[in-house]
Structure 1
Amino acid sequence: MEPLPAPSPTSVRITGDHYQWLIAWEGCLALLRENAARSENPVISVGVELDGVGNLDDVVLLRRTPPHTYTQVKYTVDSSTPVNEEYLTKPSKDGGPSVLRKIAKAWRKLTTDATPADLALFTNRAPDPTDPLVAVRDSRSQFLMPKAGLQGPRSALGAARTRWAAAAGLTEDELRELLSVLRFDLARDQTHVQDRLQLLMAVAGLRHDEHAVARGADWVAKQVREGHRTLTLDMVKAAVDTLGLKAGPARAVLSIATLKLDPLAGDADYAIDWIDRFDGSSDFTKRRPLPPATWTQLQTDIEAAPARLPLGSTAISITGSIRLAPAFLTGTAFRMVTGADLAVLQRGQLWSTSDPYDAPQPPTVHQHSLDQGDDLAVAIAVATDPTEDVLEYLREQQVPVSNLLVLTPPGGARDGSVPDTAAANALAIGIRDIVRRATRTTPRIHLFLAGPMGLALLLGHRWNRLRPTVVYEDVRTAQGYEAAFTVQA
């Protein structure tokens, strides 16, 4: 591939503007979703280059009650200027105040009457890992504090703190206060911003393809050109209708992360963060809680989620990274009989429990006799066939089951055997109906899952009028599986 030519100054300026309009469109999505979900303190308008707030005016989220969010957006065309002391404290090219001094001045103005403020520096620049203060940034909260406030004045951290305070025109105590409310939202390249916007548009009930994202950002640019610096809920709703973006209901967001950080955790109405409580160094190896954390504790957290969402929430998006047993349990926590409508992004598609389908799809059934007890084992074999592994586990652990039923899509277990939300809903109902008939006199069900995470969620949502169910997770140890949850179905 031929290398791209160096961008012209005009190209850089246009790209930087578009980057800002994308961030402003993200604010518009927060405005839509938080009001639809009846959040406790929703965004009531979005300011773009708002007057009277200093250089933190690029994108402003005005809430019903403070703190409002004031964001400075900084775009760069390359990686030559990471975020570090030099970048933050160096005077501008024309000899004007540095980035940090401008932020400090705006912060003082915004908090003169002790009104709290939430500040953010949003940029595609990466953090400099060699910078004493930037290196202690918490990637989850995006704050330098509390670590930036630790260590004495003779340490490298303390000396950097003294230099930053002087450059900002603050005392060290004031710098600590500023760094307690200033988020460093870094390394947000345009592709990342685009992907995040697609997720946010999906949970807002909008079309979420790249073209839809571009239309939203272009609408923001048009408002700015026409002199509209405050975008209201009515304006954004009208734009959604005019641009043909509406696709479904806006949803409350439940984030559950056990494998890796969820990019929507900060926007969620309720977030369960178990990343550090799962054993393993990567999302490929994290399969079970790390002692003293237990499956029982995770079950308690997930089953408490419905009560933690905004009152009256029935349309809910599940985001984050979880394996099959927690996904199934999440579905049972919001069972169909509660009136909830769950949705999850599955390979770019939004799978919703309320999506229509033609008719239930009965799975193909393979039965294996074990004669070890009165319970029934059920293996859902969709992406792959776990029959041999499940049989080996049941025999070695002497699980008290009479038979193992292996349920597969009509075409067999393979990647892509459930192509879309209609097929997933139809198969989930077909599986449930087969299991209902097979367990009328069974004391307990032992459930093993091998398929898309979205299907596990949809199946759990419909797992009613069934026997108590033990749900197993593939933990890739010598024994293969581990009992994770018991669901009273």
Structure 2
Amino acid sequence: MLKQAMHSVISEDAVPTNQKVNIHTEINEFPEEPRKINFLWEPFFGGKERKYPEAVVWTEELYNNVVATKKWVEMNRSSKRIRLSGHRRLSSAMVIGAVFSSVSGFTIEAELREGAIWATNKHPNSQTPGCDFAVEFEEGLGKHLIVTIGITRDSIADEVTSYLEGEKLSYSPKLYLHTESPITTAEQANLVINKLKKEVKAVATKVDAEKVHLFYAGPAHLALFLGHRWNGLPPVQCYEWINTGQYSPTCTF
């Protein structure tokens, strides 16, 4: 059954090997690279209008396909090093990071548009520049925690507040995090993710959160790194930005 599920995304030429596992995500059509595991995710890119599938479709199709791919890799490859290329939305990047997680023993090398490659095992050292975050916590009701993260832009808190207005979640506790500093290296990305995770975990523990609703604005590769180290935190509901004050719920994991 698992082999049948993987047939549509894995080429017959993708034979067991101890080399890196190449995964490519595409919007319109597959490249002619048979030795890559290819995902065609046009519905999950949304087009110019940013029209996305229902949240249940994100989870049942995109998330579950990535989980099946992980199982296939563990059964058929000796390597747990993923080489990731292509195009994808923030939620898709987060899912790939979370499924091929650090605690599962995976390392992900992400190809950036500029041609650079950022690896999730590039850890910060004493020379890694810091990154200061503005942190604001707002008390609320219930065990669903709203988290907003803005990278190299002002806080997205106002947009999220507008989106949640009149909804039950508008009364939930909220954690707002943002920085105007760019993230320039994989080492700095891991430093930033560690800080973000620490802040989220502390507040999630404080409010006894059962679920995190994540609104993120920033580079996709940082979303990948965040998903890669999401372990130890409550389940997360991701969202994609549509327009000012408008979001669409996507994956839950």
Cα distance in 2 between the residues matched to 1:335 and 1:41? 21
Measured against aligned partners, the alpha-carbon deviations of 1:199-257 in whole angstroms (never above 9, x if no partner) come to xxxxxxxxxxxxxxxxxxxxxxxxxxxxxxxxxxxxxxxxxxxxxxxxxx952111222
Letter matched to residue 270 of structure 1 = I
Deviation at 1:368, TM superposition (A): 5.0
Does the residue aligned with 1:473 lie in a helix, a strand or coil? Answer: strand
Q: Is contact 1:279–1:285 with CA below 8 Å preserved after alignment?
A: no
Matched, 1:355 2:122: yes
Q: Is contact 2:98–2:230 with CA below 8 Å preserved after alignment?
A: yes
Cα distance in 2 between the residues matched to 1:274 and 1:320? 10
Letter matched to residue 328 of structure 1 = M
Instruction: Give 1:390's aligned residue.
Output: 160
Measured against aligned partners, the alpha-carbon deviations of 1:117-164 in whole angstroms (never above 9, x if no partner) come to xxxxxxxxxxxxxxxxxxxxxxxxxxxxxxxxxxxxxxxxxxxxxxxx
Cα distance in 2 between the residues matched to 1:454 and 1:486? 19
Cα distance in 2 between the residues matched to 1:329 and 1:486? 9
Instruction: Give 2:6's aligned residue.
Output: none
Correspondence 1:171-182 to 2 at 5 A: none
Deviation at 1:315, TM superposition (A): 0.8
Q: Which has a greater percent of helix?
A: 1
Instruction: Give 1:408's aligned residue.
Output: 178
TM-score relative to the length of structure 2: 0.79
Cα distance in 2 between the residues matched to 1:449 and 1:335? 19
Does the residue aligned with 1:423 lie in a helix, a strand or coil? Answer: helix
Q: Is contact 1:363–1:431 with CA below 8 Å preserved after alignment?
A: no
Instruction: Give 1:326's aligned residue.
Output: 92
Correspondence 1:21-100 to 2 at 5 A: 39-40=14-15
Cα distance in 1 between the residues matched to 2:225 and 2:120? 6
Correspondence 1:225-304 to 2 at 5 A: 251-257=20-26, 259-261=27-29, 263=31, 266-275=33-42, 277-278=43-44, 282=47, 284-286=48-50, 288-289=52-53, 294-296=57-59, 297-304=61-68
Equivalences, count: 232
Q: Greater Rg, structure 1 or structure 2?
A: 1
Letter matched to residue 427 of structure 1 = V
Letter matched to residue 294 of structure 1 = V
Does the residue aligned with 1:332 lie in a helix, a strand or coil? Answer: helix
Deviation at 1:41, TM superposition (A): 7.5
Superposition CA RMSD, Å: 2.9
Matched, 1:448 2:218: no
Q: Find 1:317's aligned residue among 83, 106, 109.
A: 83
Letter matched to residue 355 of structure 1 = K
Q: Is contact 1:287–1:474 with CA below 8 Å preserved after alignment?
A: no
Measured against aligned partners, the alpha-carbon deviations of 1:62-82 in whole angstroms (never above 9, x if no partner) come to xxxxxxxxxxxxxxxxxxxxx
Instruction: Give 1:435's aligned residue.
Output: 200
Q: Find 2:148's aligned residue among 356, 369, 379.
A: 379
Instruction: Give 1:308's aligned residue.
Output: 72
Go from structure 1 to structure 2 and tell me whether the alpha carbon gap of 1:250 and 1:351 turns closer, same or farther (over 3 Å shift): farther
Instruction: Give 1:131's aligned residue.
Output: none
Q: Is contact 1:270–1:308 with CA below 8 Å preserved after alignment?
A: no
Instruction: Give 2:235's aligned residue.
Output: 468
Q: How high is the sequence identity, in percent, across the aligned residues?
A: 25
Q: Which has a greater percent of strand?
A: 2
Go from structure 1 to structure 2 and tell me whether the alpha carbon gap of 1:338 and 1:365 turns closer, same or farther (over 3 Å shift): same
Q: Is contact 2:153–2:178 with CA below 8 Å preserved after alignment?
A: no
Cα distance in 1 between the residues matched to 2:35 and 2:216? 27
Does the residue aligned with 1:393 lie in a helix, a strand or coil? Answer: helix
Go from structure 1 to structure 2 and tell me whether the alpha carbon gap of 1:41 and 1:460 turns closer, same or farther (over 3 Å shift): closer
- The runs of 5 or more residues in structure 1 that have no matched partner are 1-37, 43-248
Matched, 1:339 2:109: no
Q: Is contact 2:28–2:40 with CA below 8 Å preserved after alignment?
A: no
Indicate the structure whose relative CO is greater, using CA pairs within 8 Å and at least 6 residues apart. 2
Go from structure 1 to structure 2 and tell me whether the alpha carbon gap of 1:438 and 1:251 turns closer, same or farther (over 3 Å shift): same
